[in-house]
Each structure stands twice: as structure tokens, then as C-alpha cells.
Homo-oligomer: A and B are copies of this chain.
Amino acid sequence: MATLTRAISRFPVPALEELPEDIRARILKVQEKSGFIPNVFLVLARRPDEFRAFFAYHDALMETTEKTEKTEKPGGLSKAEREMIVVATSAINQCQYCVVAHGAILRIRAKDPLVADDVAVNYRKADITPRQKAMLDFAMKVALEAYAVDEQEFATLRQHGFTDEDAWDIAAIAAFFGMSNRIANVTTTRANDEFYTMGR
């Protein structure tokens, strides 16, 4: 199996030199930080406007430490918990890139080498708290049957200490990565080899 070449995507990927300055800069920055360029950056870069919007949305939902006092997000979800939502959503949507790449990030943020695989396969059986299971139950409802979400789901979340703002966060993350999963599957975006072992 090792002899098969591993294309980044079924779509052609642009050379870094061809990219608009702001996009190249962002890519180089992530490369410097991670040591490699996650493939999703290269795949989306051929559509600069979509690239910019995608990562702006991503950061708005996933980056919480840079927020100032008057934050949009109440901060009820830790960064690790946000990644849990990504992994569980991406697994139910069968997205190879997102499960592998965000599984790595989850392991690092949770400082737990096992949790990502457990959440990916069946979060109901993972070593996470009842609160986190309720969080993922809600994320799954958003991913699979958002049309049926009603006040009962918000009430259940409140019993576990989640505010309505947290509910928005959970739903928005599950929805955003539901989009990401679909794009990655259609473009056959492959996870970088580095992700498979990070944080184990």
C-alpha cells in the first residue's frame, strides 16, 4: 500500500508563489508554527475569497484566547471541547481530513493521547464527562437533524451548565465543520501524514 502516491486533493493545488500575498502569509505562518502546511490550506487557496471567509469563520468559532473582555463568546467551551465537537461531527460525516487533523489537535489540547480515537469511533463510550457527552449529543442532533432541535435540547444543555451562548457555539461549530467535511470529501482532501501521530 505504501507505494501508492498520496495526492493532496483531486483538484489541482496552486503553487505558493501564485497566491495573493495575504493568503501566502497566512500559510507561511501556519507552516512556521506547525512545521508543515496542513493540506486544507493548499486546497482552499485556489479560491482566495473562499479561503479568506473559511478561515475567518474558523477562527471566529475556534480561537477563543485572543478574545478581549467584551467577547462574543462566553467562553463556556474549552478549546479541547471545541475540538471534540469537530472530531465527533467529522466522524459522523466520515471526513478523513477533519477526523485525522482535528484528532491530532484534540489530543494536544486535551493533553490526552486516547480521547480523539474514542470520540471519533463512538463518543458515547469515550472517557469524557457527562457534560461533554451532552455537548456531543447536541452536536450530533445539529449535524443529523437540526430541523428537530427545539427547546428541550436547550433545557438539557442548561442542566449540564451550558448557556444559550454555549449552545450557539456548539451548533455553529457542528454546522461549520459539517460544511468543511462536505468540501473535504468532495475535493478528496487528504490529511498530512504528520497529523496521524501528533499528540499520541
Contact = CB atoms under 8 A, between A and B. Distances in A.
A161 interface: no
A174 interface: yes
A178 B94 CA distance: 16
A196 interface: yes
B185 A147 contact: yes
A186 B149 contact: yes
Contacts of A94: 121-122, 147
Interface string A139-151: 0001100111111
A29 interface: no
Q: Within the oligomer, what is the number of copies of this chain? A: 6
A39 interface: no
B183 A175 contact: yes
Contacts of A54: 53, 57
* A interface, size bucket: 35 or more
Interface of A: 1-2, 4, 6, 10-11, 46-50, 52-54, 56-57, 59-61, 72, 90-91, 93-96, 99-100, 103, 110-115, 117-118, 120-122, 124-129, 142-143, 146-151, 164, 167-168, 171-172, 174-176, 178-183, 185-188, 190, 193, 196-197, 200
Task: Please give me the 7 A-B residue pairs with the lowest Cβ-Cβ distance, nearest first.
Answer: A94-B147, A53-B57, A49-B60, A175-B182, A53-B56, A146-B182, A171-B186
30 contacts: A4-B128, A11-B164, A49-B56, A50-B57, A50-B172, A52-B56, A53-B53, A53-B54, A53-B60, A54-B57, A94-B121, A95-B121, A95-B122, A95-B146, A99-B117, A99-B121, A114-B193, A122-B185, A124-B147, A124-B148, A125-B188, A125-B190, A143-B182, A146-B186, A149-B185, A171-B186, A172-B183, A175-B186, A176-B179, A179-B179
